[in-house]
Amino acid sequence: ADSSSSELAKVYPLPPSSSKKSVLKEDLKTPDSHVERDPRLIRLTGVHPFNVEPPLSDLYDQGFLTNEDLHYVRNHGPVPRCADEDMLDWEFTVEGMVDNPITMSVRDLLADHEQVTYPITLVCAGNRRKEQNMVRKSKGFSWGAAGLSTALWTGVPIGDLLARARPRRGARHVCFEGADKLPNGYYGTSLKLNWCMDPNKGVLVAHKMNGEKLHPDHGKPIRIVVPGQIGGRSVKWLKKIIVTAEPSDNWYHIYDNRVLPTMVTPEASANLPDVWKDEKYAIYDLNSNSAICYPAHGEKIPTTGENTSYNVRGYAYGGGGKRITRMEVTLDKGKSWRLANIYYPEDDYRAAPDGDTLYGGRVDMWWRETCFCWCFWSLDIPLDDLCSADDIMVRAMDEGMMVQPRDMYWSVLGMMNNPWFRVVIQKENHSLRFEHPTQPALMPGGWMERVKKNGGDLSNGFWGERMTGEDETVVVESEP
């Protein structure tokens, strides 16, 4: 069967096609002038380097899989160049504490190893960071709630390559290095060796995204993809895999992707190298998180129309392979909760028949319990209930029975922000208007900005709304 007819028969979702893109005007004068991009992506760090998220509604509307047009991007610097005709000759190494060091090309990777295709959600550790920046400026730029995307990744399980290289006793970490040269050296980081060797974890050396060669922004020609962990570990433009006794000493491994203790201020952090180097504070697994996508920010719904309810909906994800097992919605600031419906499109891939292949890789999901992807949740709420509520908040619980917290855990890099996601309901003439916490980058809007402008204390654990007579012992919440 040709690939299109076999795709028609699939029991699981396939990605939306990506569009024909061109180099954007704003990229012409940057080192990325060779990279074609979609103009809908929202730039979070000025023009360059390219750090972008899609509009949250566009992301949600595209469904379970996101094509390269809308997939979020986190680049630390210029995008390394690799022309189509050079892809197969791109070389990388497996070296360090191994008995059999390997230098191989992408050609070898394709020819000598069994390929797999998995759906994997990548999430930036900074997803939802704008909310942290509203409370207190962190050392990081302002992601909204769309710093995540899901694609079908095809490649080789990294455990196969490591087994071939034969790690020595005492080896415990696997360092990765990319081709992106930055002010503090090539980008690099590491994972634990055990995790790389564990088939349940699903770490890949990937060369296809949604069935196509990797887009330059996503690591062309090859990259690491780590399910369930923060995007910062999924090194792009891969050049080196180095087996070591200790975690990576790369600058970006130490000074990025960490959650320092909340009492460490940005000022103090400048003089605490031992705190930065403490692996306890390094982020690997994602924490559980969720967001409301609809109602969207600024959306208005009439209260006098024919609809008597609204379908509130959004996404959620766990970390380290954990499944989200419940989503709950409160309209009274946590006093009572309603149970939402959860939908896991990832489960459709588990139903693929044994031996099924896609894009040249086995869809090897049926035996695996771990979850690699986001899920969707929804709940019909009577309009009457929305009319009498101040806000909608949601929280996820994962299969380990850990629940998203009410309180923000602020930290100096502003990462892993996961308190209850709150959308405020504004009552207007015969309609309700909805406010998300923030808008990404420097975009204005959101209840956090409004509250802050009005002098509210966003760090008070009560969403800072109109405190009156506030002192150490009195909290008065806003009236509807």
Binding mask 313-332 for its own copies (x = CB under 8 A): ------xx-x--xx-x----
CA distances from 444 to 103, 134, 417, 440 (A): 49, 11, 20, 8
CB closer to its own copies, 219 vs 227:
227
Is residue 474 near its own copies by the rule CB under 8 A? yes
Is residue 385 near its own copies by the rule CB under 8 A? no
Q: If residue 161 lies in a helix (H) or strand (E), which one and from where to where?
A: helix 158-165
Smallest separation (angstroms) from its own copies to the CB of 337: 6
Smallest separation (angstroms) from its own copies to the CB of 397: 8
Binding mask 124-143 for its own copies (x = CB under 8 A): --------------------
Is residue 288 near its own copies by the rule CB under 8 A? yes
Smallest separation (angstroms) from its own copies to the CB of 276: 15
CA distances from 126 to 40, 72, 139, 290, 393 (A): 20, 12, 11, 14, 20
| Site size for its own copies (CB under 8 A) | 56
Q: Residue 1: CB partners within 8 Å, gap ≥ 6?
A: none
What does the DSSP 8-state code read for residue 286?
P
Q: Which two tokens stand for residue 289?
A: 């998180």
Number of C-beta neighbours around residue 239 at 10 A: 18
Is residue 118 near its own copies by the rule CB under 8 A? no
- Rounded Cα distance between 251 and 186, Å, is 9
Q: If residue 193 lies in a helix (H) or strand (E), which one and from where to where?
A: helix 193-197
CB closer to its own copies, 185 vs 405:
405
CB closer to its own copies, 298 vs 400:
400
CB closer to its own copies, 11 vs 476:
476
Which residues within the stretch 231-270 sit at the binding site for its own copies (CB under 8 A)? 259, 261-263
- Rounded Cα distance between 448 and 143, Å, is 14
Q: Residue 309: CB partners within 8 Å, gap ≥ 6?
A: 380, 381, 382, 383
Is residue 368 near its own copies by the rule CB under 8 A? yes
Q: Is 257 a catalytic residue?
A: yes
| Contact region with its own copies (CB under 8 A), list: 112-120, 219-227, 277-285, 298-306 | 277-285
Is residue 416 near its own copies by the rule CB under 8 A? yes
- Rounded Cα distance between 106 and 223, Å, is 11
Contact by Cβ (8 Å): 131, 408: yes
CA distances from 296 to 60, 79, 302 (A): 10, 33, 14
Q: Which of 22, 309, 336, 454 binds its own copies (CB under 8 A)?
A: 336
Q: Which two tokens stand for residue 185?
A: 């050296």
Is residue 475 near its own copies by the rule CB under 8 A? yes
Smallest separation (angstroms) from its own copies to the CB of 460: 8
Which residues within the stretch 156-185 sit at the binding site for its own copies (CB under 8 A)? 169, 172
What does the DSSP 8-state code read for residue 79?
P
Smallest separation (angstroms) from its own copies to the CB of 174: 13
Burial class (CB in 10 A: 0-12, 13-18, 19+), 362: middle
Catalytic-labelled residue, pool 75, 127, 133, 257:
257
Q: Which of 36, 95, 198, 348 binds its own copies (CB under 8 A)?
A: 198
How are strands ordered across the β-sheet holding 238-244? 102-105, 91-96, 238-244, 173-182, 185-192
Smallest separation (angstroms) from its own copies to the CB of 72: 20
Q: Which of 86, 246, 407, 428 binds its own copies (CB under 8 A)?
A: 407
Is residue 145 near its own copies by the rule CB under 8 A? no
| Contact region with its own copies (CB under 8 A), list: 23-31, 32-40, 286-294, 372-380 | 286-294
Q: Which of 390, 384, 383, 377 is nearest to 447 (CA)?
A: 390
Q: Is 124 a catalytic residue?
A: yes
Q: Which of 93, 118, 73, 342 is nearest to 226 (CA)?
A: 118
Smallest separation (angstroms) from its own copies to the CB of 267: 16
What 3-state class would DSSP assign to 134? helix
Is residue 194 near its own copies by the rule CB under 8 A? yes
Catalytic residue numbers read 124, 256-257
**Residue ranges binding its own copies (CB under 8 A):** 169, 172, 192, 194-195, 198, 200, 259, 261-263, 280-281, 283-288, 319-320, 322, 325-326, 328, 334-339, 354, 367-369, 397-403, 405-407, 409, 416, 459, 461, 473-479
